[in-house]
Chains A and B, each alone.
Chain A
Amino acid sequence: HLTVTEPVAILKASEVWGALRGLETFSQLVYEDDYGSFLVNESEINDFPRFAHRGVLLDTSRHYLPLKSILTNLDAMAFNKFNVLHWHIVDDQSFPYQSIYFPELSDKGAYSSNLIYTPTDVRLVIEYARLRGIRVIPEFDTPGHTQSWGKGQKDLLTPCYNGKQPTGSFGPVNPVWNTTYDFMTKFFKEISSVFPDEFIHLGGDEVDFSCWKSNPEVKEFMKKQGFGIDYAKLESYYVQNILDIVSSYNKGQMVWQEVFDHKAQLKPNTVVQVWMANNYARELSRVTGAGFTALLSAPWYLDYIRSEEQKKLVIGGEACLWGEFVDATNLTPRLWPRASAVGERLWSSSNVTNLQDAYKRLTNHRCRML
């Protein structure tokens, strides 16, 4: 709640996070006249976000992003009242996260020894974000998107076969070995203590079944478990185990929509992130219809969701900047000011839709951010 009158302006919020949002707004109300004097108009503002989860995803695996890039981006996020940094920190291409329990992961998996995030770096990001009211939710995406994990952790990924011979290449995390779950138990114990947020994103997207299908041990396991030839069941078996592990550390889980689509048994407060552009509205409807909270990353209309109850389960969304073609040389102009449009959509009320008005404000806001 912001009141600007003579002789004093008052900003009230129930928590410091609200105060931060109010300070951002206040800073935007201040303007300079032609003589260089700073002015602010009498104002009375009651403000609150429409959605509680307003995120930006950064991908530091396809291209390493230097700390400075990440911190600059956190500043830009604060200017736009974003409150979640979804840090997609590792993936197929590289593993820059320096693990305390498993240092080989980044030793062997990072692009190079100086393209890593040390525990100090990670703490810095978390604190820099915290001071801006931004939660840091790390994503350690498995069982797919894990090629780089196999460099530093032998016998984690599934060996692919050509007939009876291993081909030498590897697929997703191996779901049939106990050692896999021993590793994940230890690994997520570390992650749970390093990252203070209640939630961890576990990925679960785009799992390619062909390697599993080629592996005799996996095929044997499928038979024993009675999964038949439905590898989605194997994926779900794996995911459920990981969800249990992470739950035991009192962390909530976020997953990509495939985990829901393939019918894994989720915990009641698992958040499902909808990213596939085809029919995302129906997907949102299905996810919330099943009682799960949903996050939207494909563009959105909420009209397919019937009930008010269901609508409440949509907790927000995220602007995603995947890193295949992005590094420090082009991150900022590619992400901003377009992400500002997402920020407004997530904070402002559903009837704030006038394009001409938004254009005027966005052009001013962009100059402010420069």
Chain B
Amino acid sequence: AENEPSWETPCTKLLVYVSTPGCDGFPSLDSSESYKLSVSKGSMLLSAETIWGALRGLETFSQLVGRDENGTYYINETEIVDFPRFPHRGLLLDTSRHYLPLKAILETLDVMAYNKFNVFHWHIVDDPSFPYESSTFPELSRQGAFNAMTHVYTASDVRSVIEYARLRGIRVIAEFDTPGHTLSWGPGAPGLLTPCYMGKAPSGVYGPINPIVNSTYQFVTSFFQEVSTVFPDFFLHLGGDEVDFTCWQSNPEIRAFMAETGLGEDYKKLESFYIQRLLDIVSSLGKGYIVWQEVFDNDVKLRPDTIIHVWKENNLQYLNEMANVTRAGYRALLSAPWYLNRISYGQDWIEAYKVEPLNFEGSPEQKALVIGGEACMWGEYVDVTNLTPRLW
């Protein structure tokens, strides 16, 4: 009849069609996430190339469903063709400055799925603590975790995170940041870190990983061999940020090495020396890598498929960095304006929203090298008591 509300036959089924099977696989940087959603009288159809696209479409579908005053669920006629602008849409959690219980990580993965994030960047260890239980080097967490019984991620915990993420179409990219940010590695791996010197005597304090001893590279090889098997994603994040050179400069063996090898006084070259060997090791393990921008800024020789993670924020300077990185032919990830751990009063989501990652001078080919970005929630002032309201 004319004037009756047009409640059609209730739709009870959403048909989901995925053209390329692959429910048992892992999502990757190249995965298609596009989907089509068609809601009309008597039929609802979600179609996608891959299961990952179907997941995105299901999320959208769930957001389209409304409920009226009588409690009836309804959905408007809709035609949607959707796909992401950027393939790498990530979130960083820091479980070293403060341990985050498994539940907090899994909850975060849920909320990431509600927001179509597809990368969980797990900054798992750092200076303050080493919660990652390594099967090859169990002493690392035994000596380096805040508490080796209660503040660690067991192999089973890690597997849970990876699977929970996978079921939501989220890739887990682990970051084992070296050579700086490694104080917590020291207690469980004696001889790994550089002993700092006060004049002629060791001061008792340690610095970044020691780049001049073979044992370092043996350790790194074994360690990353394990990490490469534990984390299925093609990419590993290798860190490389904020390397403080003062400890290296104070160490007489290192100074001797610098002289012998002709590196002189340029410690950036020593950092380069370490990183290049690290990249070779990780490559030989069949993994790709992401590094923080200093690795690029300090002229380390990188493989062309390296992804550079831009994080330094200084009056919109990050846009210049994005231009430089892409001009040099590397793919770029943007985090600089998205350090959500830096709080301010009021509606600060607006500042994050206003960011335009491609707002720099460059050719279309250059701009195509920007593969996405990540919101970062560094943990200096964040633990499970305030993670969720600070992040979302």
Residues on A facing B (Cβ under 8 Å): 324-325, 329-330, 332-334, 370
Contacts and interface: CB of A to CB of B under 8 A. Distances in A.
A325 B386 contact: no
A333 B386 contact: yes
B20 interface: no
Contacts of A370: 385
B103 to A, nearest CB: 15
A332 B386 CA distance: 9
A329 B385 CA distance: 11
Contacts of A329: 388-389
A325 B390 CA distance: 12
A370 B383 CA distance: 12
B345 A333 contact: no
B345 A330 contact: no
Nearest to A324: B346
A32 to B, nearest CB: 15
A268 B345 CA distance: 38
B121 to A, nearest CB: 23
A334 B388 CA distance: 12
B349 to A, nearest CB: 11
B389 A325 contact: no
Interface in B67-82: none
B346 A325 contact: yes
Given A333-B385, A333-B390, 10 more contacts: A324-B346, A325-B345, A325-B346, A325-B347, A329-B388, A330-B386, A332-B385, A333-B386, A333-B389, A370-B385
Interface in B336-382: 345-347
A334 B346 CA distance: 13
A330 B346 contact: no
Contacts of B347: 325
A324 B347 CA distance: 10
A332 B385 CA distance: 9
Nearest to B389: A330
A325 B389 CA distance: 11
Interface residues of B, number: 8
Nearest to B347: A325
Contacts of A333: 385-386, 389-390
Q: Specify the main secondary structure of chain A where it touches its partner.
A: loop
15 contacts: A324-B346, A325-B345, A325-B346, A325-B347, A329-B388, A329-B389, A330-B386, A330-B389, A332-B385, A333-B385, A333-B386, A333-B389, A333-B390, A334-B389, A370-B385
A34 to B, nearest CB: 13
Contacts of B346: 324-325
Nearest to B345: A325
B244 to A, nearest CB: 24
A330 B345 CA distance: 13
A91 B369 CA distance: 51
Contacts of A324: 346
Contacts of A330: 386, 389
Nearest to A327: B389
Taking each of A330, A332, A333, which has the highest tally of chain B beta carbons within 10 Å of its own beta carbon?
Answer: A333
Closest 7 CB pairs of A and B: A330-B389, A333-B386, A329-B389, A333-B385, A333-B389, A325-B346, A370-B385
Contacts of B388: 329
A333 B388 CA distance: 10
A134 B385 CA distance: 25
Contacts of B385: 332-333, 370
Contacts of A325: 345-347
A333 B385 CA distance: 7
Contacts of A334: 389
Nearest to A337: B385
A330 B346 CA distance: 13
A298 to B, nearest CB: 15
A370 B347 CA distance: 28
A330 B385 CA distance: 10
A304 to B, nearest CB: 27
Contacts of B390: 333
B350 to A, nearest CB: 13
Interface in B311-355: 345-347
Nearest to B390: A333
A329 B389 CA distance: 7
B129 to A, nearest CB: 16
A334 B385 CA distance: 10
Interface string B278-299: 0000000000000000000000
A72 to B, nearest CB: 13
A39 B388 CA distance: 36
A334 B390 CA distance: 9
Nearest to A330: B389
A329 B345 CA distance: 16
A330 B389 CA distance: 6
A325 B349 CA distance: 12
A366 to B, nearest CB: 9
Contacts of A332: 385
Nearest to B392: A329
Taking each of B346, B385, B390, which has the highest tally of chain A beta carbons within 10 Å of its own beta carbon?
Answer: B385
Interface string B145-164: 00000000000000000000
A329 B392 CA distance: 10
A333 B389 CA distance: 8
Nearest to A331: B389
Nearest to A334: B389
A184 to B, nearest CB: 34
Contacts of B389: 329-330, 333-334
B101 to A, nearest CB: 13
Nearest to A326: B389
Contacts of B386: 330, 333
A201 B308 CA distance: 57
Nearest to A369: B385
A329 B347 CA distance: 16
Nearest to B346: A325
Contacts of B345: 325
B254 to A, nearest CB: 34
A329 B390 CA distance: 10
A329 B346 CA distance: 15
A123 to B, nearest CB: 30
